[in-house]
A and B are shown apart, each in its own frame.
Chain A
Amino acid sequence: EAQVTQNPRYLITVTGKKLTVTCSQNMNHEYMSWYRQDPGLGLRQIYYSMNVEVTDKGDVPEGYKVSRKEKRNFPLILESPSPNQTSLYFCASSLMVGFQETQYFGPGTRLLVL
């Protein structure tokens, strides 16, 4: 089954304690991306990756890091989380064939930073 998985699904942490949210896809997609969703703000892109070892900033990259060492995984790293990073996070991957694109999203990770 084609899927994007994220772990953990829920996380409560404290300010400054490093954490990693994992994202994995089993579809061999080249493009992967991270978004955060906040009430009233919709979705905002944090980072994206066009392929292995190719990453770039989205609209709100501050306070986040990513890596893409292999095609299937795209972890999101919060080196020193702060309360303003409390949010719902989605990972996504895309299949691009010519001019067509289909996107798949993970189930989301709800993060609370105290």
Chain B
Amino acid sequence: AQKVTQAQTEISVVEKEDVTLDCVYETRDTTYYLFWYKQPPSGELVFLIRRNSFDEQNEISGRYSWNFQKSTSSFNFTITASQVVDSAVYFCALSEAEGSGTYKYIFGTGTRLKVLA
């Protein structure tokens, strides 16, 4: 069965520190997709990234980077030089490609990141 674990419930850092949010997943499929989302205090959901299971190349987007490691079933998210605007709840999610081509999503419970000025 699918499962996504975000063991860090809440993290607090001081501005300009680097921070890594952990995500561990479980799946029996060989084809799957991993996601990260941001939910700022205003409540909207923002899609950050999707990673395909066959592409383990790490991704960097500005201060954000993602480390995908199949060997440890992890898809960790690092924010470099954190800023107060990074304060949010971050969700990791997994989707498996099902037989009919449809697929559903399983989310982790989220990590609340507080960046202090």
Contact = CB atoms under 8 A, between A and B. Distances in A.
B104 A56 contact: yes
B68 interface: no
Contacts, number: 56
B91 interface: yes
A111 to B, nearest CB: 14
The number of chain B residues touching the other chain, given as a range, is 20 to 34
A23 to B, nearest CB: 13
B50 A100 contact: yes
Contact of A108 (B35, B44, B104): B44
A42 B107 contact: yes
A48 B107 contact: no
A104 interface: yes
A40 B109 contact: yes
Among B52, B93, B104: residue with most chain A CB under 10 A: B104
Contact of B45 (A41, A90, A102): A90
A2 B66 CA distance: 26
A33 B55 CA distance: 25
Contacts of B109: 40-42
Interface in A10-31: none
- Which size bracket describes the interface of A in this complex? 20 to 34
What's the dominant secondary structure at chain A's contact region?
strand
Nearest to A54: B102
A68 interface: no
B47 A45 contact: no
Contact of A43 (B50, B91, B102): B91
29 contacts: A33-B105, A35-B107, A40-B109, A42-B91, A42-B107, A42-B108, A42-B110, A43-B91, A43-B105, A44-B107, A45-B104, A50-B102, A56-B102, A56-B104, A58-B104, A59-B104, A59-B106, A88-B43, A92-B45, A99-B52, A99-B55, A100-B50, A101-B33, A102-B47, A103-B47, A103-B50, A105-B45, A107-B43, A108-B44
Given A48-B102, A102-B47, 5 more contacts: A41-B109, A42-B108, A48-B104, A103-B50, A107-B43
Interface of A: 33, 35, 40-45, 48, 50, 54, 56-59, 88, 90, 92, 99-105, 107-108
